Amino acid sequence: DGYDLVEVYGWEPRVSVVPTWTVAPSQTKALTDVRSAAFDPATSAVLQSDPGITASPPIVAPFSASFPSATYLEFDPEHIRLDVTAANPSIVVVRNSYDAGWSATVDGHPAPVLPTDYLMQGVPVGPGHHIINLTYRDAAVINGLKASAAAWGALLAAFLGALLIELRATRRSKRTASDPANGSALE
């Protein structure tokens, strides 16, 4: 149907831990850097803002701890959990499209989600084992839900107000119809 399936050799996993990074001064420079033949997404990341941590020389550690690891668990497209081990301060590169609606916690504490490798997500972590939770909240959807709730609330208030007015009018007409002083009592 006009499509070709192409196998890409040397692809990176959905999430990885990289111990080195650079900060590009602009989006254009970030794109230029990741398109460079010298760029290796397995070992480095290109960020578009300061991660708030400083890279350090590799720590000599036991063989099993010297390799970073990361696992990706998606509960649904808006809730992701990453189980990460890093030997050094690192950037956890998540190969999902970056959007300002993403927020992260590292071990239960808020952490930045940074534009990484031009269009991916990155979360800075220190050395050690970490649980990262990524959550997506679209402000437009939340504002739409708030506006809908306000509209439904106003509609309910109008309905209840009309019902109350109708009940009062019915009671008033019954009282007037049965008041002997009015001369209109039914016999």
Residue 63 pLDDT: 46
Query: Please, which residues bridge with residue 110 across strands?
Result: 105
Going by pLDDT thresholds of 50, 70 and 90, the confidence category of residue 1 is confident
Sheet of 79-86, strands arranged across: 69-76, 79-86, 128-136, 102-106, 109-111
| Mean per-residue pLDDT over the chain, rounded | 87
Structure tokens at 82: 């990453």
Q: How much is the pTM?
A: 0.69
Structure tokens at 65: 């701890």
Percent of the chain with pLDDT over 70: 89
Going by pLDDT thresholds of 50, 70 and 90, the confidence category of residue 27 is very high
Burial of residue 109, with CB atoms counted within 10 A of its CB: 0-12 exposed, 13-18 middle, 19 or more buried: exposed
Tens of pLDDT along 96-122? 999 999 999 999 999 999 999 999 999
